A and B are shown apart, each in its own frame.
Chain A
């Protein structure tokens, strides 16, 4: 290593507040999602508007008996019917007995049908999420982290090439890997400040008490049942975000990424030695 020009440098990339709020957020999202599916299961049908037009949900899960007498789990989406036996509409409980339910028991908290308990989990972690997000926001503004997420003019110019390099799974190495690229910036900004805010707002829109002061928001969203649908769709988009996030974590060096989010230290290669920064020559 000493003869080569490449130097491994360690950057203290993620401060403690960032690391704590990141993992607290992951924990909250996990419990919110699975308890949310329990709540969804109490009425596994979604509608647009203020009220439930029971005859025409845009999404509906359930089960029916075929002419042959067989029970089939179905998911109806905009009039399309999919056979989703085993997963959606009809799935086995812990004892292996088939049950008519939206999402399967291995995707809900608690696993059995228990709306009251699902609500307990959901609202507890909803509060934790809001408190955690507020702390993150205050820290992000005060520490200048938020500025790092705002796209610059150069960022916008690199949009096209960034899309292409993401598709090709070519990721910046070296010092450039320590900065957020345009797609990262947009993904984080939209997810945290757009979808994150909207999922809290749509959640509150389902509260009859909060609706007394949220009439304008409800009007824009299209009513309480629209709010419930949007809440569900944003939850789906969070799942998508997490998958993409984990995928990128894996393809850009899972151990280094994981370490940087636990200890804060991010390692990268550079050919310009810098006396001021501490160098590390072992591979960890």
Chain B
């Protein structure tokens, strides 16, 4: 390498070093092509985690002694809208979960219907995307039992959960989606109880999702309806969830 070449190389390195300052990073964070490149790693993580861990691998279950004194709620701590308030005022006696979409037998399930389904109680760790964790004892109907009743069609690929809460000032309703693998997982519950009591409002009364192998934002609270779909491109922002529409990964396994 000649001195000239060497000088040019050094200059190039310094220039690209300048480009890569934090201002540059902020600009890159707002460019579609770059963010798409960064987000390609989400698919890789999803693929690798599914390759390494068995389909039915179970999340660790803890003992009663491990339960956190307070199960810190995050996001919305109450449902919104007149319908939800009316249902809450009556202790959800008139509540009925709507399950429809690509199913043979659409259903409306009251809390009593849900409590009559095969249930599970599990003491698991809840991991927030922000980094903190709490442990709680969840009781709920197995989502697989609900699916056995409604019979998804062969084209069904995702479950979309429509919720009664709207977070922040956006006014749009919370929603989430999971795939069939997680939907049929034995620890995936439609929970109506926390720590031996009726599910508190702040934690998503009357019904919230537990998907124990993903982060907290996947576990929709205040669930009003479950829609079985082939894809979620036409729902809300098209990314499969409230936070997903705001830039978070659809697969929240890490």
Binding site for B on A (CB under 8 A): 30-31, 34, 39-40, 42-43, 45, 47, 50-52, 54, 106, 108-112, 114-117, 119-121, 123-124, 126-127, 204, 206-213, 215, 218, 224-225, 228, 259, 262-263
Contact = CB atoms under 8 A, between A and B. Distances in A.
Contacts of B25: 31, 34, 109-111, 121
Contacts of A212: 53-54, 57-60, 213
Interface of B: 1, 6, 9-10, 13, 20, 22-23, 25-26, 29, 35, 37-42, 44-45, 49, 52-54, 57-60, 62, 66, 68, 70, 72, 125, 127-135, 212-215, 243, 246-249, 253-254
Given A51-B125, A54-B72, A123 B42 contact: yes
Nearest to A109: B25
Closest 10 CB pairs of A and B: A209-B253, A116-B247, A207-B254, A212-B57, A52-B132, A42-B130, A43-B131, A43-B130, A120-B38, A124-B38
A116 B132 CA distance: 16
A228 B131 CA distance: 8
A115 B129 contact: yes
A211 B131 contact: no
Given A50-B135, A114-B29, A116-B248, A206 B52 contact: no
Given A51-B135, A111-B23, 18 more contacts: A50-B66, A52-B72, A54-B132, A110-B22, A111-B25, A112-B26, A116-B248, A116-B249, A117-B29, A119-B248, A119-B249, A121-B25, A121-B38, A123-B42, A127-B45, A208-B127, A209-B49, A209-B254
A119 to B, nearest CB: 7
A51 B66 contact: yes
A207 B68 contact: no
B42 A208 contact: no
Nearest to A112: B26
Contact of A215 (B35, B54, B60, B248): B60
Contact of A40 (B40, B128, B131): B131
14 contacts: A51-B66, A110-B25, A115-B130, A116-B243, A119-B248, A121-B25, A123-B41, A123-B42, A123-B45, A208-B213, A208-B215, A209-B49, A218-B60, A224-B125
A209 B213 contact: yes
Nearest to B48: A127
Contacts of A45: 132
A127 B72 contact: no
A213 B68 CA distance: 23
B212 A50 contact: no
B247 A117 contact: yes
Contacts of B38: 120-121, 123-124
B249 A43 contact: no
A9 to B, nearest CB: 18
Contacts of A224: 125, 127, 133
B127 A206 contact: yes
B29 to A, nearest CB: 5
A213 B52 contact: yes
Given A34-B22, A116-B246, A124-B41, A43 B133 contact: no
Contacts of A39: 131
A116 B60 CA distance: 26
Given A43-B128, A111-B26, A208-B253, A120 B39 contact: yes
Contact of A263 (B6, B13, B44): B6
A34 B24 CA distance: 13
Nearest to B40: A124
B21 to A, nearest CB: 10
B74 to A, nearest CB: 10
Nearest to B246: A116
A121 B20 CA distance: 13
